[in-house]
Amino acid sequence: MPKGKKTRKFAVMKRMISLNDPRLKPEDRKPKKEKIPDPHEAKLVEAPQYSSALFFEYNTQLGPPYRILIDTNFINFAIKNKVDLVKGMMDCLYAKCIPYLTECVQGELERMGERYRLALKVIKDTRIERLPCMHKGIYADDCLVQRVTQHKCYIIGTNDKDLKRRIRKIPGVPIMSVGQHKFVIERMPDAPQM
């Protein structure tokens, strides 16, 4: 059986428009040259604006009564470890604590369904303050991070690894988590070491 003659395919290479093409606008005809930075010129570096509440890494706005923003998994871990929210917080910090719950966190718990009905009963406690949310979206982690960056007076209560990683990048914000049947705080300047 004879082999068919192979012919070269036409226009396999990508075509480029020449600079003289009439379809180009006048500003596109000139080849773009990158500006070479002058080594003797002073460089502008924008440093992030930090809150006036921070004295180095020490947050001066933190003080009794402590305001603690709680996350959904913090509530669930507290129930699993059989720790009362308000009493456990006071035992950890040795001061009055006010737990705060945002609308996003409450909505997230309600969306979880019947399995988390005990957590829904726990958050109906009158000692837990409600915070309204004025932003778009319903993702609770973004809500908590945004609130903490705006106001440095909160402690975050969470067991979520991703949220902890995001909060640790914000200076002066302590993190409270549940571990070994008690609450544990990290990055608190005057907290007792346990």
CB atoms within 10 A of CB 53: 14
Please give the pLDDT value at position 57.
62
Name the domain count of the chain.
Answer: 1
Most confident of 37-41, 81-85, 187-191: 81-85
The reply to whether the predicted model has a pTM over 0.75 is no
Helix (H, G, I), strand (E, B), or coil: what is residue 178? Answer: strand
The model's pLDDT over 163-175, given as tens digits with 9 standing for 90+, comes to: 999 999 888 899 9
For residue 98, being part of any structural domain is answered with: yes
The encoded tokens of residue 65 equal 């009564």
The encoded tokens of residue 73 equal 């998994």
Band (pLDDT 50/70/90 cuts) for residue 121 is very high
For residue 182, being part of any structural domain is answered with: yes
Instruction: Report the alpha-carbon distance of residue 123 to residue 90 in Å, rounded.
Output: 17
Query: Higher-confidence residue: 68 or 36?
Result: 68
Closest CA to 144 of 126, 170, 124, 121: 170
Pair 123, 106: CB distance under 8 Å: yes
Please give the pLDDT value at position 192.
45
For residue 174, being part of any structural domain is answered with: yes
Task: Determine the length of the chain.
Answer: 194
The one-letter amino acid code at 153 reads C
The model's pLDDT over 57-103, given as tens digits with 9 standing for 90+, comes to: 677 778 889 999 999 999 999 999 999 999 999 999 999 999 999 99
For residue 153, being part of any structural domain is answered with: yes
For residue 124, being part of any structural domain is answered with: yes
CATH code: domain of residue 76: 3.40.50.1010
Angle at the Cα of 43 (from 37 to 45), degrees rounded to 5? 130
Instruction: Report the alpha-carbon distance of residue 131 to residue 113 in Å, rounded.
Output: 22
Q: Which domain holds residue 101?
A: 63-186
- Whether the bond between 65 and the residue before it is cis, its omega within 30 degrees of 0, is yes
For residue 33, being part of any structural domain is answered with: no
